[in-house]
Chains A and B, each alone.
Chain A
Amino acid sequence: MKKIWSIGLNTFKESFRKKMMYILLVFALIVIGASKFFGFLTAEEELKMIKDVSFSTIEFFGALMAIFGSLYAISTEIERKTIYTLLTKPISRSDFVLGKFFGMAMILLVNFILISLFFIGLLIFKHSPPDIDVLKTLVLIFVELIMISSITLSLGTFSSDAFNVICSFFLYIVGHLTSYGRELVERTENVILKGLGDMLYTILPNYENFNIRDKVVVGVSVNWAYVGNTVLYGVLYIAIALFIALYFFERREI
């Protein structure tokens, strides 16, 4: 555990040297800040727009950070050949992968907290402190970001950077559409197609599970059972992605 923590901490510290993370963070803050300029609308409309823009920005820029941060987490170590030094020490490959994952999770957490605090500050400034549903939405977005990060990290253990980035973005988009796809498949009477659809529905990440913001911004409340089940879904998917990452990384010739 100590080894994992050391690698994680090192990954976290290393991220401070990456300009891209700062740029994404600044862009996210600018977009959220810009949502304040809907002052010409009624108070109710303005508040809804601030929430809509902020949730979407937190998710979108968070996804960019998760994908690009995790993309280079392993490949850079291999390219720079620093991994050889690391693996000659009593560090297993699984320690290395898990350390990288926890490092990325820490980076995402810090960025997420910064952006979320800015958003919450904006709501307080507008005399509408965040209610529990806003916090539930933020929790689910964060779990989604960690899930995206774990998938990109997993892809990075066996593929090139170019393939990884395309695949991660593809899964990000598809992951928001799986429920629609399933509804289409449910209409077909072809048993094979139905079975295939169900299998894909389970295997592909379902990011739409984490999307409650469209309802929360219009005042619909979501219960804790849903949040709990969705977090459990996220944790299981992260575990699957990490086990697959461990499998491929153990087999990889370095």
Chain B
Amino acid sequence: MRRKAWPYLLIGILLFLPLGIVQIRVDYERKVQDLESNLVLMPGQMAGSLVLGGFKGLAADLLWLNMEEYWHTGQHYKMLPLLETVSWLQPNYILVWSIGGWHMAYNIYAEVKDPNEKQFWYDQGIKFLKKGISYNPDKYDLYFELGWTYYNKGKDYPNAVAMLEKAIKFPHPEYVNDVLAHAYEKNGQIDKAIKEWEYIRDNFVTFVPVAERMLFNLKTKGTTIPKENKD
């Protein structure tokens, strides 16, 4: 049984019209939901994105495994281009940014001897974490990592407070408030530190004994830091 063929072709061609409309909707959704990789906007790296096509995640994993090897063999410098590439391939992969920042601000920092070089790697770590935040501004993780690096490594308490205050605006674990309370204290904002410890005491059951001890020390001695540990 043979039928006329042209109606099939006509219907097929006509269906491209709704297809085009649906594609516009899909493109819109991809932009709204940040599903676009934006890789093509990075000069010099477009070829890579073209070659990788649909398997960016897999490529990132392979590079990550290489990076693990460099890490365990102490070849920190070799990790840097890989960190850049993995973060370029999957900018929403938080771990890359946090581990990258940590390697620069802590591990490489510890390896170099020259103070200027140390400062350089600390700054690089901060810069890397800030870049990570620009890709992931709606999650607490990198604000915390940056805040912690300012607090712990840089002793830069005003910036630490600023970042940790941003971190607690998003869903976060309890220890972020703990670090923020300490950062307030180190930054000389004792009133805010007391308020933060009170908030911790009232909201996080596991932190109650610690919070009560900190509040007692702050209210009676004006500090939670034992004398021998003071800078």
- How many residues of A are counted as interface, with CB atoms below 8 angstroms from the partner's CB atoms? 60
Q: Does chain B have a CB within 8 A of A123? A: no
Q: Output the least CB separation between A33 and chain B (Å).
A: 16
Q: Are B5 and A247 in contact (CB under 8 A)?
A: yes
Q: Are A49 and B22 in contact (CB under 8 A)?
A: no
Listed in ascending order, the chain B residues whose CB lies under 8 Å from chain A are: 1-6, 8-9, 11-12, 15-16, 18-20, 22-23, 25-27, 29-30, 33-37, 39-41, 46, 49-50, 53-58, 60-61, 64-65, 68, 90, 92-95
Q: Are B33 and A226 in contact (CB under 8 A)?
A: yes
Contact A208:B54 (CB < 8 A) given known A223-B33, A247-B8, A251-B5: yes
Q: Are A180 and B9 in contact (CB under 8 A)?
A: no
B6's contact among A207, A219, A239, A247, by CB below 8 Å, is which?
A247
B35 neighbours in A (Cβ, 8 Å): 212, 215, 220, 222, 226
Q: Does chain B have a CB within 8 A of A184? A: yes
Q: Are B50 and A180 in contact (CB under 8 A)?
A: yes
A92 neighbours in B (Cβ, 8 Å): 1-3
B9 neighbours in A (Cβ, 8 Å): 243-244, 247
State the CA gap A201–B93 with chains docked (Å).
Answer: 29
Q: Are A220 and B57 in contact (CB under 8 A)?
A: no
Contact indicator per residue, chain A 161-196, by CB within 8 Å of chain B (1) or not (0): 000000000000100110110011000000000000
Contact indicator per residue, chain A 199-223, by CB within 8 Å of chain B (1) or not (0): 0011100111101111101111011
Interface locus among A19-27, A40-48, A103-111: A40-48
B57 neighbours in A (Cβ, 8 Å): 52, 55-56, 213-214, 217
Q: Are A229 and B26 in contact (CB under 8 A)?
A: yes
B36's contact among A41, A179, A206, A219, by CB below 8 Å, is which?
A179
State the CA gap A48–B94 with chains docked (Å).
Answer: 12
Q: Are B40 and A183 in contact (CB under 8 A)?
A: yes
Q: Output the least CB separation between A128 and chain B (Å).
A: 15
State the CA gap A230–B65 with chains docked (Å).
Answer: 33
Q: Output the least CB separation between A53 and chain B (Å).
A: 7
